[in-house]
Structure 1
């Protein structure tokens, strides 16, 4: 229903714009004929609507945001250059938004038009009245440090798409997609981008498949976000920063992946101690070979998983050699 509403709104905007632009060439200039449209639900609407609306803005707000000092009448004159008629009344402006200006969604868009009409080069530069010190986002700083160290460990960084097909995180990984916290795209344009990824491993496997003719071993990693459905989040979904790595060679390379985990924990100053640090716990996961999979626990909480991928997973990604994978959540270490 939401997608249908958005498409109708887009069509209405296009129709209003075309009608307004071509109406000046009509036999009787600036006149249009309306048409009644009946929807399958029985509703009837007359198009084009060519609706006008008004925005009331404060003169002091405009001057403060743009950095100028103009009266209400002067601002009204500036807006005429942007095809916006306005009336000054006291310290406020009443701006009439025509159907040709669908780009004006809020009063701040009118303020932007004032700045354009006044001329950006004519606005006097000022030093901000407050001083702040920029600080890098802690999560991004940690991510950059992890990228550098994993690359020094002999892995090559990859950057894969945030969207993928349902099969990539579902059937190819031997997972039931209905049991995963997946965010689905309501109107995907292609089968390759149907959902937001819940794991970084499928993207790395597709990258390995595209480069399988390269010399072995292929050791790839990625530090990026996955998207998980979360009803407690304002948007219904949340991002989670993760590190994923795969080792593809003639042998499984489990010791390589395990060694990378140990190195990561060493850098994060997490001791190898089940009680006060990190440890491995046997796990059953259909994506991994039975008996070759483990959960990674840090301070008693599961933060990820590593193991040897199941042969069915490998073949579904058009690979034919053993492969081990690691995926951990970095956010608990902030």
Structure 2
């Protein structure tokens, strides 16, 4: 069962109700998930570093973290927002969401052109536009954490699917999905200011503890997948 770590106070705020530990355990049991552990960020770090469990100054002011076990097939429960919504619906404080398909005028539709060369490496691309989304730091971190969890399970550690998220205010359609030799791809990666060629970037990421384990997926391919906007 996947385990999701959420801030207790943020979770209770999203639920619109405060619970004791025992009350929340009972709610989880009734819904079909489990409160696995109650901890803090510092305690998690100490455990990862195999340090002794001893109280430090300021620990009592730290945010309490609930670690919740959820069902493996409930991808909607892999983040605080998903758990909160499901529990609100379970408690009859919110109706189940109803999704509708709207008619969009042809001139408003954003297009993604798929080049045939992508069949050599990753033949499919799926796109969606999310509007009216406002991020603060906590929501953004939760969003990225959800994306990482999806990468690890349903995406099979990115071997089946790699998810990318972009700010539509900073790019322009139409878009194109292409597969090019790495020497022909140049861009500035996240948190960098230098322009990298794709083959140079893979070499650079070999020292990145988080990303190096994914390099094998494409590094021996003659072409790398890339998405460009109107301005490439």
Q: TM-score range by the shorter chain?
A: 0.3 to 0.5
* TM-score, length-scaled by structure 1: 0.25
Larger relative contact order, structure 1 or 2 (CA cutoff 8 Å, min sep 6): 2
Higher strand share: 1
Structure 1 or 2, whichever has the larger Rg, is 1
